[in-house]
Amino acid sequence: MPTGAFVAVAEQPWLDFRVGKPVGRDIEQGTVAAGGGYDNAFVFSGWTEGGGVVSQAVVSSPLTGISMELVTDQPSVQFYSGNNLDCSIHVKADQASPLNPAACYPHWGAVVLEAQRFPDSVHHFGDPSWPSVALEPGQVYSQRTGYRFTLP
């Protein structure tokens, strides 16, 4: 549950991805271990309302060489590591691959990046440090988020 506290990732090294590292390296450390894996919101440094779409994150696989870049106009990203997956969800046999021969989604078998406003923003209405999620009658909500994939 969000606390409203903004904590620098440098103070919690298990949450620090400013320099590339394997997602699983610190998954059983600090507050990540208590949550069963990553399910954390990361606030983008330097974000400004109306600042446009900016590259904010890149994940890559040393196994496949595939990388994914997140570009968004949102102030944060929720990073989830498949904590609740347990192979109870299976893919169709014709969609199995050499990288997933079991044809299921195992525990910690995913990386999800969800660009969004800050979690719990609705409870911080009027707080200038929290981007507003209020939508007045007649207003239109729009979000621009994209994912760029690079193949080796």
36-53: pLDDT as tens digits: 999 999 999 988 888 899
Provide CB contacts within 8 A for 146, sequence distance 6+: 53, 70, 71, 72
- Residue 29 in domain: yes
Residue 1 lies in a domain: no
Q: What is the pLDDT of residues 79-127, one digit of tens each?
A: 999 898 887 766 666 666 656 555 677 888 889 999 999 888 888 888 8
Candidates 7, 41, 16; CA nearest to 120 is: 41
Number of domains in the chain: 1
> Which residue segment(s) compose the domain that 88 sits in?
9-130+144-150
Cα 91 from Cα 99, distance rounded (Å): 13
Neighbour-count burial for 25-56, b at 16+ CB within 10 Å, e otherwise? ebbeeeebeeeebbebbbebeeeeeeeeeeeb
| CATH code of residue 19 | 2.70.98.10
